[in-house]
């Protein structure tokens, strides 16, 4: 009987293995490649400051957000269609975090802070990708 159970258990593993792999996350496929460079962005009350320089379509950029304000802030990168390409967590004053984003196409992209009413109060910036 133990031999029969082992064969049955082994056959379940063989059958289930491809199913488990198929259900796995494709997070690695969606993960951006190694950043070409880092851009530092300073967040203050209702503004972002920093110089993105020239960004080319296909570039992968690490945005480092430094909260130099007194309120919590975050950074989200939106495509020209408004689709989120990446975001940081909400961070308190004095904290730093980062997000890595790949820019697939040329166009105008937006950086926004989606904490509370910060976006409606003007905390956004545009960057051009060529």
Structural domain includes residue 4: no
Structural domain includes residue 12: no
Contact 91, 18 (CB under 8 A): no
Residue 27 pLDDT level (bands cut at 50, 70, 90): very low
Task: Give the predicted TM-score (pTM) of the model.
Answer: 0.75
- Mean of the pLDDT values across residues 39-51? 97
CATH at residue 69: 2.60.40.420
Structural domain includes residue 92: yes
Structural domain includes residue 117: yes
CA angle (59 as vertex; 128, 104 as ends), nearest 5: 75
Measured distance CA(117)–CA(130) in Å, rounded? 31
pLDDT score of 38 more than 50: yes
Number of structural domains found in the chain: 1
Note down the domain range covering 49: 28-129
Residue 106 pLDDT level (bands cut at 50, 70, 90): very high
Structural domain includes residue 8: no
Structural domain includes residue 11: no
Structural domain includes residue 2: no
pLDDT score of 47 more than 90: yes
Contact 89, 97 (CB under 8 A): yes
Measured distance CA(115)–CA(75) in Å, rounded? 9
Structural domain includes residue 41: yes
pLDDT score of 22 more than 80: no
């Amino acid at each position: 009987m133990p031999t029969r159970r082992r064969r049955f258990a082994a056959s379940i593993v063989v059958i289930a293995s491809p199913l488990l792999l198929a259900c796995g996350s494709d997070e690695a496929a969606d993960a951006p490649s190694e950043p070409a460079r880092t851009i530092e962005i300073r967040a203050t009350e209702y503004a972002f400051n920093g110089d993105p320089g020239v960004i080319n379509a296909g570039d992968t950029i690490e945005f480092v957000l430094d909260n130099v304000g007194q309120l919590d802030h975050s950074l989200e990168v939106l495509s020209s269609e408004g689709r989120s390409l990446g975001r940081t967590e909400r961070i308190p004053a004095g904290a730093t975090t980062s997000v890595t984003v790949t820019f697939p196409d040329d166009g105008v992209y937006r950086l926004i802070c989606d904490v509370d009413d910060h976006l409606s109060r003007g905390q956004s910036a545009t960057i051009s990708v060529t």
